[in-house]
């Protein structure tokens, strides 16, 4: 099978956003008089999203009193105003995306982050200038683990799904990629949720660093690019 394009999850795969996501969650949590989430909790919870971060720091009675959705809106409002204070690409990401751009290999991002946050975040980072497609949580009626966002991204790149690689750090990424018929790679360097083990996700490959991913992709594309 020829591999012709690469799709990536965003948080925990290309970008370490835990600092800014954590600051937004802790802004809401500490306003309720509660202690902030630790770095350890942030590292294992960020990929599960805003709801999970808030639930990790606020006990159920307070959540019921204030309303989880209202708390989430407060968190995302703060996050939207502070998108890239601590966020950084993982080591090797700039080199990897530069290599893809240099070889004119189509690539894109499929994330469960809302477009109102995804688009300004990527627009503020020059290394994403070559991104060929961005699919956010609200681009379609479905989001991961449904395969529709991945299939939509492949279509936008004009590449068959079976000729795409999808890289992500969460079980839902691998489930979505498998359902879409793509080659799946578990990003073991990312935000692995508590109790989760990438080897259990049935990905086609598990890699432990971005440089290891680039090495794998260089091999996959070596005969075709």
Just list the catalytic residues.
Answer: 9
> What are the Cα distances from residue 153, in Å, to 72, 147, 191?
27, 10, 23
160 contact partners, CB below 8 Å, separation of at least 6 = 4, 154
Contact between residue 34 and residue 57 where contact means Cβ atoms under 8 Å apart: yes
Token reading at 149:
């966002």
Token output for 1: 């099978």
**What are the DSSP E strand ranges found in 61-150?**
88-89, 107-110, 134-135
**Dihedral pair phi/psi, residue 15, rounded to 5°:** -120, 140
Distance (Å, whole) CA 9 – CA 109: 6
**H-only helix segments in 103-183:** 115-123, 148-156, 171-179
Report phi then psi at 18, rounded to 5. Answer: -60, -35
Q: Is residue 96 within 8 Å of residue 102, measured between CB atoms?
A: no
């Amino acid at each position: 099978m020829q591999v012709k394009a690469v799709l990536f999850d965003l948080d925990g795969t290309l970008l370490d956003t835990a600092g800014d996501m954590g600051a937004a969650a802790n802004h809401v949590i500490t306003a309720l008089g509660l202690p902030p989430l630790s770095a350890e909790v942030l590292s294992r919870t960020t990929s599960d999203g805003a709801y999970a971060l808030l639930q990790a720091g606020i006990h159920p009675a307070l959540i019921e009193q204030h309303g989880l959705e209202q708390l989430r809106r407060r968190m995302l409002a703060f996050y939207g105003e502070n998108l890239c204070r601590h966020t950084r690409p993982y080591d090797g990401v700039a080199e990897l995306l530069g290599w893809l751009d240099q070889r004119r290999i189509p690539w894109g991002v499929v994330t469960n982050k809302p477009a109102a946050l995804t688009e300004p975040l990527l627009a503020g980072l020059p290394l994403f200038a070559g991104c060929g497609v961005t699919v956010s949580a609200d681009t379609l009626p479905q989001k991961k683990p449904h395969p529709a966002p991945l299939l939509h991204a492949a279509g936008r790149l004009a590449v068959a799904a079976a000729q795409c690689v999808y890289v992500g750090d969460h079980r839902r990424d691998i489930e979505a990629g498998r359902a879409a018929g793509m080659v799946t790679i578990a990003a073991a360097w990312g935000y692995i949720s508590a109790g989760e083990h990438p080897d259990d996700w049935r990905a086609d490959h598990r890699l432990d660093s971005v440089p290891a991913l680039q090495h794998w992709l260089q091999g996959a594309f070596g005969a075709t690019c």
